[in-house]
């Protein structure tokens, strides 16, 4: 699908119809609210973005749906949205129910097996996130060979995981875990809202952009011919301007 540049006259007038107090404003975290940096653990949301999100959350419902664990994301955000969903849609706040013991015990089992198989693989970092696992290989000398080692290891896991590739990372989730698309729909239901604006840049965010019969205004960070999002921003640094104009329309 061909995306429309959001800051074009058409993009802005289309968006204006969605910027309303009864719209859910939902965001991915890495690469969307915060720039991607070399060191995964050094990612931070800038102070102006954090402050503008805080203003947005005073006039509308804000949700962050991230691949990170909720605990990890909380520290990076330094801001509390009305809803924070972790692990690619699978990890919800305890009071919202749905955190599934079975999901975490499957991931625990995979984790032990992967530690065993991949212990000698150079440049692989295994991140255990409770309800999902991430295998990072940014630091591998031979990226291609490392990825085949990772895939061979994944092939030995029981039950078979859902595999989601990313930028130098492979994410594993139990088949029954909620996707980001499921999570957005559940969040809209939870807040009783019929419409949402969702901004993201990940492969997993496509689950949101591809939703049918759900009224979502999808914005992709970066121009990308592969995305199902109908609108795009040129780069992550344009997000602050977008947040400011949305808040300006609502306040
Ligand atoms: Mg992202």
One domain, residues 128 and 246: no
pLDDT at 78 > cutoff 90: no
Catalytic residue among 22, 28, 30, 215: 28
One domain, residues 90 and 192: yes
| CA–CA gap between residue 48 and residue 197 (Å, rounded) | 20
pLDDT at 98 > cutoff 70: no
One domain, residues 14 and 29: yes
One domain, residues 161 and 83: no
One domain, residues 89 and 135: no
Domain with 48, as residue range(s), is 4-98+178-250
**64 — pLDDT class (breaks 50, 70, 90):** very high
In sequence order, the 6+-apart residues with CB closer than 8 A to the CB of 131 are 69, 86, 87, 90, 91, 99, 100, 103, 104, 107, 173, 177
Final residue belonging to a domain, choices 118, 139, 173: 173
CA of 23 to the centre of ligand 1 (A): 21
Final residue belonging to a domain, choices 131, 147, 173: 173
One domain, residues 91 and 204: yes
DSSP structural state of residue 2: P
Task: Provide the pLDDT for residue 1.
Answer: 67
Which secondary-structure segment (H or E) carries 220?
A: strand 215-221
Active-site residue flag, 28: yes
| CA–CA gap between residue 135 and residue 121 (Å, rounded) | 11
CA of 150 to the centre of ligand 1 (A): 21
CA of 162 to the centre of ligand 1 (A): 18
CATH of the domain at 220: 3.40.50.1000
Nearest Cα to 118, choosing from 172, 73, 74, 81?
172
Asked whether 78 and 50 are in contact (CB, 8 A), the reply is: yes
What average pLDDT is seen over the chain? 93
One domain, residues 88 and 185: yes
115, burial (CB in 10 Å: exposed 0-12, middle 13-18, buried 19+): exposed
Asked whether 90 and 73 are in contact (CB, 8 A), the reply is: no
In sequence order, the 6+-apart residues with CB closer than 8 A to the CB of 158 are none
* Lowest mean per-residue pLDDT among 47-61, 67-81, 99-113, 234-248: 99-113
One domain, residues 90 and 188: yes
Which secondary-structure segment (H or E) carries 217?
A: strand 215-221
Q: How many CB atoms lie within 10 A of CB 140?
A: 19
Express each pLDDT in 136-156 by its tens digit.
Answer: 999 999 999 999 999 999 999
Task: Provide the pLDDT for residue 131.
Answer: 86
| Section 64-87 average pLDDT | 94
Task: Provide the pLDDT for residue 52.
Answer: 97
One domain, residues 63 and 166: no
Final residue belonging to a domain, choices 141, 173, 205: 173
One domain, residues 46 and 145: no
One domain, residues 34 and 69: yes
CATH of the domain at 138: 3.30.70.1020
CA of 12 to the centre of ligand 1 (A): 23
**79 — pLDDT class (breaks 50, 70, 90):** confident
One domain, residues 190 and 246: yes
Q: How many domains does the chain have?
A: 2
Task: Provide the pLDDT for residue 196.
Answer: 98
């Amino acid at each position: 699908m061909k995306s429309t540049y959001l800051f074009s006259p058409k993009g802005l007038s289309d968006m204006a119809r969605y910027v309303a107090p009864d719209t859910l404003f939902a965001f991915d975290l890495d690469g969307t609210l915060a720039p991607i940096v070399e060191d995964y653990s050094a990612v931070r949301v800038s102070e102006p973005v954090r402050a503008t999100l805080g203003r947005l959350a005073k006039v509308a419902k804000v949700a962050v749906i991230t691949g990170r664990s909720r605990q990890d994301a909380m520290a990076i955000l330094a801001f509390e949205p009305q809803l924070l969903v972790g692990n690619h849609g699978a990890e919800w706040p305890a009071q919202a129910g749905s955190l599934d013991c079975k999901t975490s015990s499957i991931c625990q089992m995979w984790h032990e097996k992967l530690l065993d198989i991949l212990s000698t693989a150079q440049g692989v970092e295994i991140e255990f996130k409770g309800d999902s696992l991430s295998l990072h290989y940014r630091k591998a000398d031979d990226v291609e060979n490392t990825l085949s080692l990772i895939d061979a290891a994944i092939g030995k896991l029981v039950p078979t995981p859902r595999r989601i590739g990313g930028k130098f990372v492979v994410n594993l989730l139990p088949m029954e875990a909620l996707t980001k698309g499921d999570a957005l729909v559940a969040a809209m239901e939870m807040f009783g809202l019929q419409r949402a604006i969702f901004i993201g840049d990940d492969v997993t965010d496509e689950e949101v952009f591809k939703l049918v019969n759900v009224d979502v205004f999808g914005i992709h960070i970066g121009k990308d011919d592969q995305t199902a999002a109908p609108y795009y921003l040129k780069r992550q640094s344009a997000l602050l301007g977008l947040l400011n104009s949305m808040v300006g329309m609502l306040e």
